[in-house]
Amino acid sequence: MRFDTVTIKDIAKALNFSTSTISRALRGSYEISAETKKLVLEYAEKINYRPNPIALSLKERRSRSIGVVVSEIANNFFSEAINGIESIAYNCGYHVIITQSHESEEREKVNVQHHASRSVDGLLISLSSETVDLTYLKELYEKGLPIVFFDRITDEIDTHKVTANNYLGAMHATEHLIFQGFKKIAHITNSPYLSITKERLRGYTDALEKHNIPFNESLIKYCNRGGMVIEEIEDAMAELFKGKTKPDAIFTASDRITTLCFGVIKDLKQKIGFIGFTNTKVGQLFDPPLTVVKQPAFEIGQTATELLIQMIESKRPVLEFETKILDTELIIRESSLKKE
Amino acid sequence: MRFDTVTIKDIAKALNFSTSTISRALRGSYEISAETKKLVLEYAEKINYRPNPIALSLKERRSRSIGVVVSEIANNFFSEAINGIESIAYNCGYHVIITQSHESEEREKVNVQHHASRSVDGLLISLSSETVDLTYLKELYEKGLPIVFFDRITDEIDTHKVTANNYLGAMHATEHLIFQGFKKIAHITNSPYLSITKERLRGYTDALEKHNIPFNESLIKYCNRGGMVIEEIEDAMAELFKGKTKPDAIFTASDRITTLCFGVIKDLKQKIGFIGFTNTKVGQLFDPPLTVVKQPAFEIGQTATELLIQMIESKRPVLEFETKILDTELIIRESSLKKE
DNA sequence: TTGTAGGCGTTATCAA
DNA sequence: TTGATAACGCCTACAA
């Protein structure tokens, strides 16, 4: 604070004690007389004393805060996940500091380093769609910064990870389209670097294989910026409908990609099957109502936070790590049903 | 950081200088030999020295960060506003720390105090729908914490404020419904404490008056928790359709209230005119496509941040304050058009 | 040009 | 039971 604040010194001066006595009284140390303690506590209360967390951070090298890095908060999955994170963190006495990478590797790095240098006690991160190089994260982790990955995870760092069952989610979505009678199912997805992209793609291809539908590379479109720019969506869709094999259904892989593609389809007046991975609360209101694969975002946030706090508060270094995989939910509405 | 970090001391030891020399070299002071400076800078670079921002905060009583308090990030208006805030803040070298009040006065207070004690250099706040008592904010402000209000502002504190033109936005929306031939226009809005609620209500009533449509109190419904709980929406709608005067159109006043009401209308299979204050990106996809009053959220965030940084960096106390009011945009789609 | 000392707010250690 | 001192990392007034 740039402005005047009450410090332990002020109390000491007012009450004619040393700062150490005040400190002990405030933190309830037992090596102090009940009388002094009462005096100090009452006075502190009266003048509304609050310990300076910055001084504490400097001294203790911890801040009772957790850093979060996500690609975008304007995304239903992430905002729900953040609510899950907060719900646990606040109960455990931690503050949550949120930053956005906007799908930029550079921005992500800056954010992580900011968190680290500000003494967050641990980090929750969902990687950006650009991210390839994790060496700086690995270094921080090896230096002792507890990190838990959620949603967009990585094999390169051995720690706790929490994610949705992207494989099964994608498989069920694809199978649902197959059962409806769709045969040329396109998949519009995120950057190929991302774990979630690979898992969802595998769910998709395995579903095709299981039902003897030939895989067609040209029906897969990657949006490397995760739908951050509308052009990549429009290009993907244009290529798709210009291609030799026109799709009769589309399965999209993320919040942003889903709504953008749905809009393009609508503009093109295409009547095709549609399912998207999204946590939007308004799919029901769409025309046609949107079939979605919904992730347990809140729970993912909660679980990741529990694991992180466990790591932070563990006395010995944690050596056994879990990868928790939470089930998705297929919510079937009209958009994925075959007409006629 | 709980883990080892390079400090000025380490450099001093390695290079056989005092810490002050190192400090001066690093901050480019002129009272130092070019040679020493070069030596220090090169070594610092080599071992990847980063100043500890916590130590700096403690010393300088500032942190080059801005605290933001909004009710919910899972809200298109706020997530866009935050992007606006970040865009300016990062350019000026400030970090942005986001917290959510979840429309709770208590939570808001905790967040503000956390920001203040963590030495944010200034605060951007949009009040929660519960907030009545602003004395603690006033105290902080008077102690010297720069505060700029945006969106949900207050008369009780004399500082910069940035908001949308809620009055005209509401007036134009209502007039549009009137022009369409609707006569019994309901208004479902937020808590009556909020500035935005009052302004929008005034726009609504003035529009009615201008066109000689009698005002009917029973067509106004307040959602005190801002649509945080679906029940308050359902109750409001139930009362509305149970009342003597059934509405033929609805004008809703916030993101959450809009989508929830739209859903209820759909369930009730009511065909009535509908306009909502919302920044959703998917109104076009709704059935029927949603007419919206869109706020310049990004610009509101930017403007508020510019004003805040101006206050923070001003040498003399700022005494002249502005209230900037930015225009909304009425985007007309089918939902507000009279059929038949 | 460089070094010493003190301070930002707090706590731990040791001495009284 | 209480107080003095040093330390966390950095900066700066003052001394050399």
Is B56 within the bounds of a domain? no
Distance CA B237, CA B216 (A): 16
In chain B, the number of structural domains is 3
Query: Does A2 contact B119 at a Cβ distance shorter than 8 Å?
Result: yes
Segment among A51-55, B27-31, B240-244 with least mean pLDDT: B27-31
Is A1 within the bounds of a domain? no
Q: Are residues B34 and B105 in the same domain?
A: no
pLDDT of residue B333 exceeding 70, the answer is: yes
Is B91 within the bounds of a domain? yes
CATH number of the domain within which A45 lies: 1.10.260.40
* Chain B partners within 8 Å of A62 (Cβ): 2
What nucleotide is nearest B30 when CA is compared to C1'?
C1
Q: Are residues A180 and A125 in the same domain?
A: no
Query: Does B3 contact A80 at a Cβ distance shorter than 8 Å?
Result: no
Residue pLDDT, tens place only, A122-152? 999 999 999 999 999 999 999 889 999 999 9
Helix (H, G, I), strand (E, B), or coil: what is residue B224?
Answer: coil
Query: Does B259 contact A117 at a Cβ distance shorter than 8 Å?
Result: no
**Closest Cα in chain A, distance from residue B75 (Å):** 8
Q: Are residues A173 and A282 in the same domain?
A: yes
Dihedral sign for Cα A67, A70, A71, A74, please. Answer: negative
Pairing outcome for strands A249-252 and A185-189? parallel
Q: Are residues B33 and B179 in the same domain?
A: no
CA A276-A279-A284 angle, to 5 degrees, is 75
Is A58 within the bounds of a domain? no
**Closest Cα in chain B, distance from residue A136 (Å):** 12
**Helices of type H across A67-194:** 76-91, 105-117, 135-143, 166-179
Chain D nucleotides reached by a protein CB under 7 Å = 1-13
Pairing outcome for strands A323-326 and A161-164? parallel
A213 within 8 A of A275, measured Cβ to Cβ = no
Tell me the percentage of chain B whose pLDDT exceeds 70.
99
Residue pLDDT, tens place only, B267-320? 888 889 999 999 999 999 999 999 999 999 999 999 999 999 999 998 888 889
CATH number of the domain within which A121 lies: 3.40.50.2300
Q: How far is CA B146 from CA A46, B94, B125, in A?
A: 25, 14, 11
Exposure class string for A306-325: b at 16+ Cβ within 10 A, else e: bbbbebbeeeeeeeeeeebb
Q: Are residues B85 and B119 in the same domain?
A: yes
Q: Are residues A234 and A312 in the same domain?
A: no
Which residue ranges of chain A lie beneath pLDDT 50?
Answer: 1
Taking the whole predicted model, whether its pTM rises above 0.75 is answered as: yes
Q: What is the DSSP letter of B190?
A: S
B271 within 8 A of B337, measured Cβ to Cβ = no
pLDDT of residue B3 exceeding 90, the answer is: no
Q: Are residues A179 and A252 in the same domain?
A: yes
Structure-derived torsion over alpha carbons of residues B33, B34, B35, B41, reported in degrees to the nearest 10: 110
Q: How far apart are the two ends of chain B, measured CA to CA in Å?
A: 67
Q: The domain containing residue B170 runs over which residues?
A: 166-295+329-336
* Cα nearest neighbour of B73 on chain A: A79
CB atoms near residue A19 (< 10 Å): 14
Residue with tokens 């940035």: B162
Pairing outcome for strands A323-326 and A273-277? unpaired
CA B49 → C1' D12, Å? Answer: 21
CA B11 → C1' C2, Å? Answer: 15
